[in-house]
Homo-oligomer: A and B are copies of this chain.
Amino acid sequence: MKLTILGCYAATPRTITNPTAQVLEIKNQMFLIDCGEGTQVQLRKHKIKFSRINHIFISHLHGDHFYGLVGLISTFMLLNRENDLHVYGPKGIKELILMQLRASGSYTGYQLFFHELEGTESEIIFEDEKVVVKTIPLKHRIYTNGYLFQEKNKQRKLNIEAVEKYKIDTCYYQKIKFGGAITLEDDTIIPNKELTFDPDPEKRYAFCSDTVYNEDILPIINEVDALYHESTFLESEAHLAEKTMHTTAKQAATIAQKARVKTLIMGHYSTRYGNIELFKEEAQTIFNNVILGDDGKEIEL
């Protein structure tokens, strides 16, 4: 699992900072999370192939999280994309995008599917053989969801020494990996646990932006490998965080600590601060394992 942060600053794009967008590479899929203005240029800058993006998750309909979406969809058209594209986001997103495409007289050569969300409980919105994606209902000025990305490792790991000891034919390996027991020629049954190890733990990544401090999310993000949690302000501006329904660095760290996550990734910094190191310093008074998100940063999870 690899996260590339294309942009992680709040409010307005500037020459040196970009609004929210991330690419999560998970089990060979590329998921785009949020799509602020300029995201398509950031994708090019980081040499991420447009054709590998088939699923886009939008947290909410503030401009710094989705004004780049219509341009990206248009560019996909111009590049003669053929793959289906799935967009997940708040109810209303479909008409906002389609209205703009209609006005430009544009037609897609690819299928564009919108999965509009309006639920207030965590729900599975995407699932295939390798990945599950669930919503993380957040509390912000408008309807907002974070997203939890979870690997699925169905297969147990073969204990090569054991299967060779019992001289089990390789044609049964797949059955064993899926948890099956084996009956030998002398009718002895070898239980699966003697032939396999537990699968690798299923890695989980939680994206939470934008939100007030909200302990309701703790059960959903419990013990995730990495939590990206917005930290728009420092504690010195806690009154602004409350007023605008954002989080401070200290609050984000408190969520990370209470959810016992492995790593906290910070971002969505207000551009009022000259030095983002201050966010890390403040967070680390509460929770130690902090990565300071920044535009262009690649993080192996």
Contacts and interface: CB of A to CB of B under 8 A. Distances in A.
B103 A12 contact: no
A199 B241 CA distance: 58
Given A78-B11, A99-B96, A99-B99, A104 B41 contact: no
A100 interface: yes
A294 to B, nearest CB: 17
Contacts of A104: 61-63, 142
Contacts of A13: 38, 40-41, 71
Contacts of A44: 14-15
Interface in A5-39: 11-15, 37-38
A147 B79 CA distance: 30
A38 B103 CA distance: 20
Nearest to A140: B105
Given A104-B62, A142-B105, A15 B37 contact: no
Contacts of A173: none
A71 B92 CA distance: 18
- The oligomer's copy count stands at 2
Interface residues of A, number: 33
A54 B193 CA distance: 73
Contacts of A11: 75, 78
A67 interface: yes
B71 A70 contact: no
Contact of A141 (B75, B100, B105): B105
A284 interface: no
A103 B92 contact: yes
A45 interface: yes
Nearest to A65: B104
Nearest to A271: B78
Given A13-B41, A41-B14, A63 B67 contact: no
A74 interface: yes
A68 interface: yes
Interface of A: 11-15, 37-38, 40-41, 44-45, 61-63, 67-68, 70-71, 74-75, 78-79, 92, 95-96, 99-100, 103-106, 141-142
Given A11-B78, A13-B38, 14 more contacts: A11-B75, A12-B79, A13-B40, A13-B41, A14-B44, A15-B41, A61-B103, A63-B70, A63-B106, A67-B67, A67-B74, A96-B99, A96-B100, A105-B141
